[in-house]
């Protein structure tokens, strides 16, 4: 059962406009089984310590404090959503683990030393404190929809509009009312908001020929045989065709082959070059991280930020009974267990590592 008292923390957030902040007390802190890619084994770690490592890995420490707090809640929510303790199936790639540190599967995570190496001195200690503050001041809080933790996925930059999960992941199991596309004009300060990738025809041909089969990718007159067959409601390429009658490639396949930052792209020809104009970076579903930073800089608090990107959610404390005997504790068959087990191909992106 989730106990809803987020409003108390909204009031507290207002107080935090000064440098004062208070570590949010918490009665319980579940222990997660985390598959560490770097060690190739499962390590047990308390949730809150884990969340600090995720925020360090997944969001620049220079982002606004309210964005870092939104990231902490999203990371915690996703971990809870995946955990056995809440009736989930855990990481689908690593049996026995609640979650793993592979960003393409679950969420990236780095330890203190890796974080300090990434930030370098003298800012490192300051950044560590900034992230610790974001995590501890939101301690235990998660995003819920009708009382259940959501699959709180996120990405670097949406490029103007986030995407509905079921559109890009093409699976009914990823459809969730909280993961609807929303307008986002707040990520324009991202270096990925609009980018161009210029490829000479030889490089373009070589990149696509690493795909399903060797293809004639250029027609007579050097016209690229690339055609958008299906677009998402938000304009992302879902299915493309190369040549006639094909083959067909998913938007993600073409994105990977060409090294594009997202599947939201158009192209044009200039001389012997093909120029891809790309919007955003990442899958575009859930919270736009640069957008969170932009909203925070406009004065929005982390609760408001989360409610913008995750439609219809509440921010609440999770309650967990370690013994599992509490009648309120989520168990198999409880509400929490009814969540679809979701592991989309691109759960999160980590453009900062």
Tokens 């299906």, located at residue: 230
Near Zn ion by CB under 5 A: residue from 12, 31, 89, 93? 93
For residue 237, the minimal CB distance to Zn ion (Å) is 18
Strand pairing class (99-100; 31-36): parallel
Relative to beta strand 237-242, strand 31-36 is: unpaired
Pair of tokens at residue 272: 């012997």
Which window, 40-48, 150-158, 171-179, 225-233, contacts Zn ion (CB under 5 A)?
150-158
Q: Which stretch binds Zn ion (CB under 5 A): 14-22, 197-205, 288-296, 304-312?
A: 288-296
Query: What span, in angstroms and rounded, lies between the C-alpha atoms of 284 and 264?
Result: 9
Tokens 């683990």 correspond to what residue?
A: 97
Cα of first residue to Cα of last residue in the chain, in angstroms, is 36
Q: Which of 254, 288, 292, 348 binds Zn ion (CB under 5 A)?
A: 288
Task: Pick the closest to residue 153 from 255, 264, 71, 253 (CA basis).
Answer: 71
What is the per-residue binding string for Zn ion in 73-92, x denoting contact by CB under 5 A? Answer: ------------------x-
Taking CB under 5 A as the binding criterion, the range among 66-74, 95-103, 129-137, 242-250 that sits at the site for Zn ion is 95-103
> Please, which residues bridge with residue 148 across strands?
145
Of residues 293 and 317, the one with the C-beta less far from Zn ion: 293
Task: Give the binding range for Zn ion (CB under 5 A) out of 94-102, 207-215, 222-230, 300-308.
Answer: 94-102
Query: Residue 25 Cβ, how far from Zn ion at the closest point, in Å?
Result: 31
Work out whether 291 is an interface residue with Zn ion (CB under 5 A): yes
Smallest distance from Zn ion to CB 318, Å = 20
100 binds Zn ion (CB under 5 A): yes
5 or 39, CB closer to Zn ion? 39
Q: Per CB under 5 A, which region of 7-15, 130-138, 179-187, 218-226 contacts Zn ion?
A: 179-187
Q: Is 152 in the site for Zn ion (CB under 5 A)?
A: no
Tokens linked to 73: 């809640």
**Pick 141 or 190: Cβ nearer Zn ion:** 190
Select 187 or 315, whichever has its Cβ closest to Zn ion: 187
User: Of 172-180, 291-299, 315-323, 329-337, which part binds Zn ion (CB under 5 A)?
Assistant: 291-299
Least distance in angstroms from the C-beta of 328 to Zn ion = 28
Q: Minimum Å distance from CB 196 to Zn ion?
A: 19
Site membership for Zn ion, residue 187 (CB under 5 A):
yes
> Between 234 and 291, whose beta carbon lies closer to Zn ion?
291
The reply to whether 278 sits near Zn ion by the rule CB under 5 A is no
Q: Interface with Zn ion includes 106 (CB under 5 A)?
A: yes
Interaction mask 39-78, Zn ion, x per CB under 5 A: ----------------------------------------
Residue ranges that bind Zn ion, judged by CB under 5 A: 91, 93, 100, 105-106, 158, 184, 187, 288, 291
């Amino acid at each position: 059962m989730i106990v809803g008292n987020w409003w108390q923390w909204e009031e507290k957030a207002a107080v935090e406009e000064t440098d004062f902040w208070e570590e949010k007390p918490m009665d319980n802190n579940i222990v997660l089984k985390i598959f560490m890619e770097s060690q190739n084994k499962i390590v047990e770690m308390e949730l809150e310590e884990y969340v600090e490592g995720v925020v360090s890995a997944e969001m620049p420490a220079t982002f606004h404090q309210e964005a870092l707090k939104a990231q902490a809640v999203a990371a915690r929510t996703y971990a809870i959503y995946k955990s056995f303790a809440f009736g989930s199936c855990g990481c689908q790639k690593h049996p026995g683990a609640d979650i793993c540190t592979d960003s393409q599967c679950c969420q990236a995570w780095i330890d203190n030393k890796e974080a300090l190496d990434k930030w370098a001195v003298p800012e490192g200690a300051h950044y560590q404190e900034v992230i610790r503050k974001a995590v501890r001041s939101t301690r235990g809080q998660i995003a819920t929809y009708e009382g259940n933790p959501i699959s709180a996925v996120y990405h670097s930059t949406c490029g103007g509009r986030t995407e509905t999960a079921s559109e890009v992941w093409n699976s009914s199991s990823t459809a969730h009312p909280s993961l609807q596309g929303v307008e986002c004009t707040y990520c324009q300060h991202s270096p990925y908001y609009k980018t161009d990738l210029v490829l000479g025809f030889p490089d373009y041909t070589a990149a696509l020929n690493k795909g399903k089969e060797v293809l004639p990718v250029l027609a007579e007159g050097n016209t690229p045989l690339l055609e958008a067959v299906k677009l998402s409601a938000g304009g992302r390429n879902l299915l493309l065709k190369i040549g006639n009658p094909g083959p067909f490639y998913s938007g993600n396949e073409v994105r990977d082959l060409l090294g594009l930052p997202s599947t939201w792209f158009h192209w044009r020809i200039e001389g012997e070059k093909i120029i891809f104009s790309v919007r955003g970076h990442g899958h575009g579903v859930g919270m736009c991280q640069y957008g969170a930073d932009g909203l925070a800089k406009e004065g929005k608090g982390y609760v408001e930020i989360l409610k913008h990107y995750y439609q219809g959610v509440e921010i609440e404390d999770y309650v967990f009974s370690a013994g599992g005997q509490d009648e309120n504790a989520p168990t198999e068959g409880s509400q929490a267990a009814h969540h679809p087990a979701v592991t989309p191909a691109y759960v999160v992106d980590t453009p900062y590592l």
